[in-house]
Chains A and B, each alone.
Chain A
């Protein structure tokens, strides 16, 4: 670290000196008159500072509690069997698959923000993409739990992977579950790569900024000896764009394939051609809701209002509204298909959704996903962190309900009335749900503490002095 400069914590842009309490030095800003160094120092200091804020500790411990619950639940599950859940003979899938789809959907916003918005040159994404990508990874991790554990004999899950074996047996590639295996594992891998590649230059920064040798070493190892050579940057940007280009069709395919789990089956309420777009929109919908749910408290806590501005939040509000409308359209189409086709099974399924034993769920679904987002038509709601948060929470719940309505409500009364039944989640169903949320937040807290939650090098490019001529455009 440069010796001839004042230590980081004494650097302070005069303009905001009095506004910022001591513990949050140096002041974050991208205002003119502030340099690469302040951006770098602020964001990297959140990671490198010695004192861990109490708030973080409490949050992390809380999340760890969730992980504990998850661990216990998994032990019981593997010890006793999936019978501890509420699933039964008409309803073979319950919370397990509901939560799987819910989490996977949430993940999608991350990829969308980092990849698609990058291709669309949406500058505003820069300050939230790192965060969103992390969210993607952790959501996928939480989602991955369920397909892995919902099987009757989880210790044989490896049979779902194509590997040479003495029996000459292969998986059955016609099954949407096999497609899932490939889609989800590809999605997890690519998201991780994308995220890591984005991190490399910042890891180098952390390597160079850290004071303790072992911290240097740790970050240095992952920085792979990055030295910011022009050639490296050239290939780096090339690779990053290519990844973005690959992730875009990937993210669409993943939820399409997840929707095949249902669309390919013939259960009334599952067997519908519009499931792929319906699910993808729903995923983005859910994802942005979750980004808002996380970003709003985070920017408060870490004083990032100047990086994650109201512009970001408002844009996300708009996307919420747009995708929300697509989802509502899908709900409407279900009715159209059911009634117009005259298929007695479809018709009954809809009637049962709306008036059957689970009608309350269906109504709640409409309120959460249909009504709540309509607030986003109005600027004063879009620009109020409170209302954005409220709507986002509604959508989080609503998307879970949507999966409940699709999965158990379709299964519990299908073709033969003699085998109709009811489904109720048990204690263990809920404990797994809570547990996976715990896991998600535990990972998220670790990320916030040990990695830069905002892409430092991309923030640098946002600074005016980053501009170079002859070619006048921001550099990436």
Chain B
């Protein structure tokens, strides 16, 4: 097409192209009164601080009107032909969901998903069993992205200097810029995040080709530069590492949270834990995990041995390991105890050459990655448990260098136009670069983003970006496998995808993302059939790059610099709101952080001893944390000083403070505005992941409420153990006495000695739904919690209500510690409703609002409940949740299509609780009845079970002795929580079994003394 474009002609073409829809939506917006309010709010100077609790919901109601019409468009099927996963659209039955395969991007890397769609409203995300990065599992971000899709705070219109404009205006405005770029390409820049999408990559390449000299910069706040640079140090080029934990017997994590975070973590968790399932007679051995880290991560929390060190000591440890393998004797500068651990660790590695893996965390310096590669080479694990592949990114670069160059050029005025495709650099670029100042020197600034955020505010042009559920696309998984992303709905808020924007820049005005992706792949030999198959399967088979052959070069000379003393700061992205992009997602905001159980906040995490040193005594801590409060600490770090609420994490390395970034957004939306503290100012380009030399002092003044869902400080160490809540032993001890979970006061197995004066209720000629949760393999990742929230329309309540202990999650993950607070063992215990056969909640209800079904479910009849809360009082597991206020949002139209139509939305004054996903059970029963058979094992999958990456949750029919759940119930490690109360819970647990190195922990008789 011609690059010289007559403007008017161009406008008319826009008109032809999308005129109808485009005018329609603009009219609606301008007509709606509420839109004006919404519009006002988008002006920063008038930005309203987040109103919590009821207030926030009120706002949602107000917002409602402005998106009413947009919401409607959710009913319309996407224009372009998309292919459902299971049923074909033609035999689409109203009321029956259809599943579509797609792929969700995070940090540029894709994870395959199946999207449940009711009448073309996406309502639920599941993992795609055929996608290598998921294998059917899903994490919190995948689950919560449904809420992100319908979020009424999303940007809904193109803006020019904050005023409503049109896509056409924008295209028009870009033309002169492009014209200039023809002569001077370097004047035009684009800034993207990490990109693995082949077709988008190709588009950008052709754009660059079109304007010679034009530069493409990349910046992802959750930086993986160290991974890239590490591989270059080791192999001379950018390679990605893929691990196969099914082939690993000993794993050493150097600050890596591979079980809970980063590309492929779902797959890694699945593989790793598959080697840890202890079953009587069948399990001969289990793998062993050493975690060397500072803050407590999911990986560290399930490790057999955890060595808490300061970040600056990591390189020393890595070198010691490498030297140790080579027979050398370099000693890390650590406590004698830690050194001893490292020594046995090295011996353990040597003993398992070929099946031992060392994995370095994304936050670790490049040299540590290089050393890890060297160690794996030494161990001969490369090719077995470790696979090297060419980088899955389209254009792997050192993103820090890339953005530094961009800032330099912007400062010098060399950049005439900058188009930011996604991301929020104004908020998350390294503080010392002063990105904002440089950015504002650029004469033409355009920003594509889902929200009108901090960067949009400082841009001339803002284009609303489509949600990944609204656009076509393609992405690579952690191992390079390509998946095609299908839109589930036409864009709700007239968003544009990066494909469309780049397409428009190239000049392909009518190139929708559909053409962009399709033409790319048809240009590479795709056929209608293959295309159809790809969409159907959600993966392009065989698209993963072949293993690269490379050997790690000799470890580079030491670059270790002696730390500047003081307290070391470890900077990490937030576990639930990532780099801040999910700040407006209520589900993720209210999701308890995996280790701290804190919601709606980022705090300063330190270990108990450090707190003592700071003069924050244990007594005071207990007193405050009892009331979910804490004190502020003053952090001074490289000239930045900040007041942050301090929080104590047992097992956190001493003289180290972990700080999460991503909070403190100003323009996130009504949910995320002003929540938490913006800690990006502490992020310097030469120390993206923290550094030493910080001073921390306890600040005087008022205490700060922390919405923590589990106060642990005050728990008497003996309590948990003597109550047999957690039961654990080493693998050795288990082999000696498989019955360890039932010794002494822990009493008998479920089903034994639970005689009652009353005759038993007979469930034998029906289903007997039951659940078994394997505490050995639970990493506390929260996938189940938020899956439950999405499946069951569970409302969020806001920080204030959480601090009043009114969170609504039906499923919670209890976290307990055992042993020395400086080096505790951590235990995760998901607690849904136990579905007791002798449910204590039922006889106390005066109106029979909760009763037992014939298949043994503890049913809750919402519309009969008057709300006496007696059932909750009498529930020993405290799994019942009460609507103290009208938490559910009945009014916001945008949120209505999001809800699961099979589940009631509860009203004020009603008790609710886990139902074992009764809607899924009934669906299966109806299906089975139609086919005149019994429900098959595995036919009913609860939401939590489906999400769980480690398959810790197993659900099924106890009466079917062949069922998986029945077999697990027969395991010797199977125990019931508080069995002595004779509640006969249908949910039981498998005791926690770890595999400590006998060198370090001599085998002890199983004890259950936790806190």
Contacts and interface: CB of A to CB of B under 8 A. Distances in A.
Contacts of B874: 265-267
B725 A416 contact: yes
B814 interface: yes
Dominant secondary structure of chain A at its interface with chain B: loop
Contact of B909 (A81, A172, A261): A81
A409 to B, nearest CB: 13
B367 to A, nearest CB: 41
Interface residues of B, number: 59
9 contacts: A81-B883, A153-B865, A153-B866, A160-B846, A160-B866, A416-B725, A419-B710, A419-B878, A420-B714
Residue among A172, A177, A181, A267 facing the most chain B CB atoms (10 A cut-off): A172
B723 A415 contact: yes
Interface stretch (A86-94, A210-218, A364-372): A86-94
A157 B840 CA distance: 22
Interface stretch (B420-428, B445-453, B804-812, B966-974): B804-812
Question: Chain A contact residues (Cβ within 8 angstroms of B): what range?
Answer: 35 or more
* 8 smallest beta-carbon distances between A and B, as pairs: A152-B867, A152-B909, A83-B884, A92-B869, A418-B814, A419-B878, A88-B805, A172-B848
Contacts of B869: 87, 92-93, 150, 152
Nearest to A414: B876
A175 interface: yes
Interface in A167-194: 169-172, 174-178, 181
A357 interface: yes
Interface string B830-845: 0100000000100111
Nearest to A419: B878
Contact of B873 (A265, A344, A417): A265
- Tell me the interface secondary structure of chain B in the complex: loop
A169 B909 CA distance: 20
Contacts of A82: 867, 884, 909
Interface string B686-716: 0000000000000000000000001110111
Contacts of A175: 843-846, 870
B846 A171 contact: yes
B73 interface: no
Nearest to B628: A422
Given A418-B816, A421-B805, A153 B978 contact: no
B784 interface: no
Interface in A137-153: 150-153
A175 B847 CA distance: 8
B910 A153 contact: yes
B625 to A, nearest CB: 10
A416 B812 CA distance: 12
Interface string A237-277: 00000000000000000000000010011110000000000
Given A90-B878, A160-B846, A171-B847, A357 B812 contact: no
Given A152-B909, A414-B878, A418-B814, A177 B870 contact: yes
B877 A160 contact: no
Contact of A181 (B712, B723, B829, B846): B846
B864 interface: yes
Contacts of A172: 843, 845-848
Contacts of A81: 883-886, 908-909
Contacts of B831: 416, 418
Interface string A81-109: 11100111110110000000000000000
B351 interface: no
A181 B815 CA distance: 41
Interface of B: 54, 626-628, 710-712, 714-716, 719-720, 722-723, 725, 801, 804-807, 812, 814-816, 829, 831, 840, 843-848, 864-870, 872-874, 876-878, 881-886, 908-911, 977-978, 981
Contact of A266 (B720, B840, B885): B840
B542 to A, nearest CB: 47
Contacts of A176: 844
Contacts of A93: 869-870, 873
Interface in A399-422: 411, 414-422
A171 B840 CA distance: 17
Given A172-B848, A357-B626, A159 B864 contact: yes
A177 B865 CA distance: 14
A238 B804 CA distance: 57
Given A82-B884, A175-B870, A416-B831, A265 B844 contact: yes
A3 interface: no
A416 B814 contact: yes
A420 B723 CA distance: 14
Contacts of B909: 81-82, 151-153
Contacts of B840: 265-266
Contact of A348 (B716, B864, B883): B716
Contacts of A344: 722-723
A76 B909 CA distance: 14
Contacts of B807: 89
Contact of A150 (B816, B844, B868): B868
Contacts of A265: 840, 844, 870, 873-874
B866 A178 contact: no
A82 B806 CA distance: 12
A159 B866 contact: yes
A156 interface: yes
Given A90-B805, A348-B716, A421 B711 contact: yes
Nearest to A83: B884
Nearest to A167: B864
Interface string A385-400: 0000000000000000
A80 interface: yes
Contacts of B829: 418
Contacts of A87: 869, 884
A89 B720 contact: no
A422 B626 contact: yes
A301 to B, nearest CB: 41
B826 to A, nearest CB: 13
A415 B840 CA distance: 13
Contacts of A264: 843-844
A421 B710 CA distance: 8
A92 B723 contact: no
Contacts of B710: 418-419
A157 B867 CA distance: 10
A245 B843 CA distance: 33
Contacts of B978: 415-416
A82 B628 CA distance: 21
Contacts of B843: 172, 174-175, 264
A414 B865 CA distance: 24
A417 B628 CA distance: 15
Given A83-B806, A172-B845, A416 B878 contact: yes
A156 B908 CA distance: 12
A22 to B, nearest CB: 56
Given A152-B884, A160-B866, 4 more contacts: A88-B804, A169-B864, A267-B874, A414-B878
A59 B151 CA distance: 57
A151 B870 CA distance: 10
Contacts of A90: 805, 878
A92 B873 CA distance: 6
A152 B816 CA distance: 33
A91 B864 CA distance: 22
A81 B53 CA distance: 13
A233 to B, nearest CB: 44
A116 B851 CA distance: 42
Interface string A346-385: 0010000000010000000000000000000000000000
Nearest to B867: A152
A261 B864 CA distance: 21
Contacts of A88: 804-806, 884
A150 B868 CA distance: 7
A414 B840 CA distance: 14
Contacts of A181: 846
Contacts of A419: 710, 877-878
